[in-house]
Amino acid sequence: MSQRKILVILSEYGFWGEELIGPLETFDAAGYTSEFATPTGKRPVALPPSMDENYIDPPLGKTVTSAEVAAKVRDIDKSPRLDNPISIKEKMPERPYFSSHSLIRDLEEYNKEVVKAGHEWLSQYDAVLIVGGSGPIVDLANNQRVHDIIMWFKQQERPIGAECYGVTCLAFARDWQDRKSIIWGKHVTGHCKEYDYKDGTGFMGADINMGPPPYPLEYILRDATGPEGAYIGNFGHEDSVIVDYPFITGRSNNDSYVTGEKMVEVLDHGLKRFGW
């Protein structure tokens, strides 16, 4: 059994249950330790449709969560395992505004703190996983602290997993100097346009119906990967998981277990490429 440790990042506005359960069960079976983190340390909660075996996904026109998985999601949603997650806000510094009257000193301090966080906190983890659902749209996709975590794992050439709308974080994580996405030239998957809701995109802790998702992830990923990379949606196929090291990306909830399995293969067997 491996002694590897995984950092699992979850939204505070709702994660899709199977997208946590699939990789987490796989990590547990491999003997990995998983530690959870959220943007401000608030306990994450599962989106209600993701623990309802009778919920019919509108774009797919069928139920997408089995009774077995729904029960597992309900269990972990009440489990103390998700209590007291790590606060990313407390661990990672905030980049200063450029209007700061002491910008140079503030930037020096910020960069020093990022390096310190890498040495003192992130270095204990062998990989990071960003769990999907609608919640990441709110508090992960454009979260500078989350981007800095991703950049650290990229610089250390350690595996970076992301699922569904969590893949957006990879598209927006960029070196501050050239502003080019870290998935430029890479192959990734993520929620394809055909799977997007026309209405009903909701979030935990916020009584709003966004309607459709506020951005089409497929278009963002197509642009972010550039002419030498590719977005691979595999629409019409049941599964879509892409490994283009160091990235392991899963399209949606149905791909969650395979995403976890491929992360284990990457870590324990050196897998560098899969699905394209």
Per-residue model confidence (pLDDT) at position 207: 80
**Domains in the chain with CATH codes:** 5-274 (3.40.50.880)
pLDDT tens per residue across span 139-160: 999 999 999 999 999 999 999 9
Residue type at 258?
V
Structure-token match 């599964």, residue found: 239
Query: What is the residue-level pLDDT of the chain in tens, covering all 276 positions?
Result: 568 999 999 999 999 999 999 999 999 999 999 999 999 999 999 999 999 999 999 998 999 999 999 999 999 999 999 999 999 999 999 999 999 999 999 999 999 999 999 999 999 999 999 999 999 999 999 999 999 999 999 999 999 999 999 999 999 999 888 899 999 999 999 999 999 999 988 899 888 888 899 999 999 999 999 999 999 999 989 899 999 999 999 999 999 999 999 999 999 999 999 999
CA-wise closest residue to 197 among 187, 209, 189: 209
Q: Which two tokens stand for residue 29?
A: 């079976």
pLDDT tens-digit profile of 43-89?
Answer: 999 999 999 999 999 998 999 999 999 999 999 999 999 999 999 99
- Tell me, yes or no, if the pTM score tops 0.95: yes
How many Cα atoms sit within 13 Å of 222 on the Cβ side?
A: 9
Q: Taking a C-beta distance cutoff of 8 angstroms, is the pair 244, 262 a contact? A: no
Which pLDDT tens digit goes with each residue over 38-55? Answer: 999 999 999 999 999 999
> What phi and psi values does residue 90 have, to the nearest 5 degrees?
-80, -25
Q: Phi/psi at 101 (nearest 5 deg)? A: -75, -15
pLDDT of residue 48: 94
- Tokens, residue 177: 């100097």
Query: What pLDDT does residue 1 have?
Result: 53
- Beta-carbon count within 10 A of 109 CB: 13
Q: How many CB atoms lie within 10 A of CB 13?
A: 24
